[in-house]
A and B are shown apart, each in its own frame.
Chain A
């Protein structure tokens, strides 16, 4: 089927369909980018464009100088780095232990972990545990510790490790390596592809995370939360039109500010995405085959 080279009408209809889909997917992003780079006064004439009509960087200047976006940006970066680093180390360590069939508690530990994929206590008990019992509210570690390990990733990594030849581990053992050294020196370097996949999943999850700030740490706003706040306030302003006069003097408009924040929050994903997307898909199909 793939060998045929003659194109039929069907192929051209498909091609046209795909072009429409690509436009539908990409247009909103380009629109946002254009508004964020456009003069706020000019934007009020109409928001339907993908090339800035009156180019300016004033929106970005505004959000970094007056809206103090720098701190949330740093916080987002730090939580992504720390959360991903710790998450990957812990996930791989646990996955290695659970891959060891000779480990006495292998079965029981595996079951205890897998159960939590299917039943969870729900939002309110978790909220009370974190805020009231552990008193982790408004603390940076609330971004890292409660979501440290995703059991799904552990299972993903465990099946990868199980696919590696046992002889490697046995040889190291004869040379006198203990289990920790085997994990660190042998398993980790060989796990690179799956480590990359897991790291990317965790990193995207960390960067995009919004609910944990909303529930536990509004005093430590991340970029996503700032965007949410800007969205909320923009709506109020647009409803009342009360602030519009004041905003005109500052040459910013809620819409332009919101779009600039949206771009800043999206950009890191857009930058890493083309280089790393093969790992994402690899992880997706790895999980699909194993399940």
Chain B
């Protein structure tokens, strides 16, 4: 995170003369400020709907006229028959995703860091972040062709029945997370690779003089070198732990695995827009955001306790 820099230039006091002097700057920014208020701040104001009963009929009323229900929407959400399963899916997909994603990215970056053929390294890297730029719809289309029953993977393995996309079990969590790793590992490795490039080469030389082999060098120099980066990224991902995207889940799932694919954001869509209970949908979304902010602060505190650099 950026630390606010002290600006030595003294700031001028407000005056209409100054406003006129800076009229072009104002003209170049105020329209965007209005855009921001409309598209980002008005939805925040929409959180008031979480405490009201809002249906397509009452939406047209003003905020003050809609029936106030206190925490009623939250109670409805938490006692929903889908809520417990949804929560569990969200948490496990999130933890698995962060774990596999981080481990995969660091491992891949380590491999790239160790390889000595520069041209080949470049080529591998270029190939590896290609899937990052491909949309989830396309990935889902490919994944279904590949992993469905009777798909390419099963024929490749001699007709084995894996039921990767057709067993209503936590297996789907793992499948989703592995597809995500496949898509993102190359891209996520970039940041670790640049952290590794920043490690002082002299340390390696010294270790070699002391007789450290390559594994010992990786274990004692490279891995500790990327630890701060990994911690910052972990804190950030914990902050968004409940924000498992609806798009990916919806596209990869099918009727059979739906129970284990439903996550909070999708649940908000199903209840909020699908069944036209806007108040309930907003409440679920708000719960997600607020828990995310709390988690971010907790993770930040824990990192601070262990003597790591704090994020905020």
A residues in contact (CB < 8 Å) with B: 1-2, 4-5, 7, 10-11, 14-15, 17-18, 21-22, 24-26, 28-29, 31-32, 35, 46-48, 90, 93-94, 96-98, 100-105, 109, 112-113, 116, 118-129, 132-134, 145-146, 148-149, 178-180, 183, 204, 207-211, 215, 224-225, 227-228, 231, 235, 255, 258-259, 261-262, 265-266, 269-270, 273-274, 277, 280-281, 284-285, 288, 290-291
Residues of B within 8 A of A124 (CB): 46, 49, 268-269, 272-273, 278, 281-282, 285
- Collect the chain A residues with CB atoms within 8 Å of residue B128's CB: 21, 25
Contact yes or no, B33 A112, CB < 8 A: yes
> Is B76 located at the chain interface by the 8 A CB criterion?
no
Chain B, range 1-27, C-beta contacts under 8 Å to A? 1-2, 7, 9, 11-12, 14, 18-19, 22, 24-27
A96 to B22, CA, bound (A): 13
Q: How distant is A128 from chain B, measured CB to nearest CB, in Å?
A: 6
Contact A122:B268 (CB < 8 A) given known A97-B29, A262-B138: yes
Shortest beta-carbon distance from B242 to chain A in Å: 11
In the complex, the chain A residue whose C-beta lies closest to that of B197 is: A285
B115–A11 touching, CB < 8 Å: yes
Which residues of A sit under 8 angstroms from B36, Cβ to Cβ? Answer: 112-113, 116, 149
How far apart are the CA atoms of A258 and B130 in the complex, in Å? Answer: 21
A210, B141: Cβ atoms closer than 8 Å: no
For residue A160, give the distance in angstroms from its CB to the closest CB of chain B. 14
The stretch of B81-89, B95-103, B151-159, B169-177 in contact with A is B151-159
Using known A-B contacts A123-B268, A262-B141, A285-B190, determine if residue A102 contacts B285 with beta carbons closer than 8 Å: no
B272 and A291 within 8 A (CB): no
Asked if B137 lies at the interface with its beta carbon under 8 angstroms from chain A, I say yes
Which residue from A24, A98, A102, A231 sits with its C-beta under 8 Å from B182? A24
Contact with A along B129-148 (1 / 0, CB 8 A): 11101111110111011100
**How does the 8 Å CB contact mask read for B259-286 relative to A, with 1 for contact and 0 for none?**
0000001001100110000100110011
Spot the interface stretch: B64-72, B116-124, B300-308: B116-124
Cβ-closest chain B residue relative to A108? B33
Question: B294 an interface residue at 8 Å Cβ cutoff?
Answer: no
Distance between Cα atoms of A32 and B47 in the complex (Å): 44
Chain B's nearest CB lies how many Å from the CB of A65?
21
Given that A122-B43, A129-B43 are known contacts, is A22 also in contact with B25, CB under 8 Å in the complex? no
CB of B127 within 8 A of CB of A104, answer: no
The answer to whether B92 has its CB under 8 Å from any CB of chain A is no
User: Which residue on B lies nearest to A133, using beta carbons?
Assistant: B42
Kindly supply a per-residue 1/0 record for chain B positions 31-58, scoring 1 wherever the CB is within 8 Å of any chain A CB and 0 otherwise: 0110110111111111101000000000
- Tell me which residues across on chain A come within 8 A of B41, comparing CB atoms: 116
> Are B272 and A123 in contact, with the CB atoms below 8 A?
yes
Expressed in whole angstroms, the Cα–Cα distance for A209 and B285 within the complex equals: 21
A180–B204 CB distance below 8 A: no
Q: Classify the interface of chain B: helix, strand, loop or mixed.
A: helix
Given A4-B116, A179-B22: A25 and B29 interface contact (C-beta under 8 Å) = no
Known: A124-B268, A149-B36, A209-B135. 17 other contacts (CB 8 A): A14-B115, A18-B124, A94-B28, A101-B9, A104-B14, A113-B36, A119-B44, A123-B265, A148-B35, A225-B137, A231-B137, A231-B140, A262-B138, A265-B137, A281-B129, A285-B190, A288-B191
B111 at the interface (CB under 8 A from A): yes
Residue of B nearest to A258 (CB): B141
Q: Do A7 and B46 have beta carbons less than 8 Å apart?
A: no
User: Is B161 located at the chain interface by the 8 A CB criterion?
Assistant: no
Taking the closest CB of chain B, its distance from the CB of A131, in whole angstroms, is 9
- A207 and B134 CA atoms in complex are apart in Å by 9
List chain B residues, Cβ under 8 A from A148.
Answer: 35
Question: Does B141 lie within 8 Å of A132, measured CB to CB?
Answer: no
B248, chain A: closest CB distance, angstroms: 10
Considering the complex, give the chain A residue whose CB is closest to the CB of B265: A123
- Interfacial chain B residues near A284, Cβ < 8 Å: 187, 190-191
| A11/B141 in contact, CB under 8 A | no
CB distance from B238 to the nearest CB of A (A): 14
Of listed B60, B134, B286, residue having the most chain A CB within 10 A: B134
Known: A31-B146, A122-B288. A208 touches B135 (CB 8 A): yes
- Whether a CB of chain A sits under 8 angstroms from the CB of B227 is no
B59 close to A128 (CB less than 8 A): yes
Supply 28 A–B pairs (Cβ within 8 Å), ascending by A: A21-B124, A21-B128, A22-B124, A24-B182, A46-B155, A90-B32, A97-B25, A104-B18, A104-B22, A116-B40, A120-B43, A123-B268, A124-B46, A124-B269, A127-B272, A128-B49, A128-B59, A129-B39, A179-B25, A179-B28, A208-B135, A225-B137, A259-B145, A262-B138, A262-B141, A262-B142, A265-B137, A269-B134
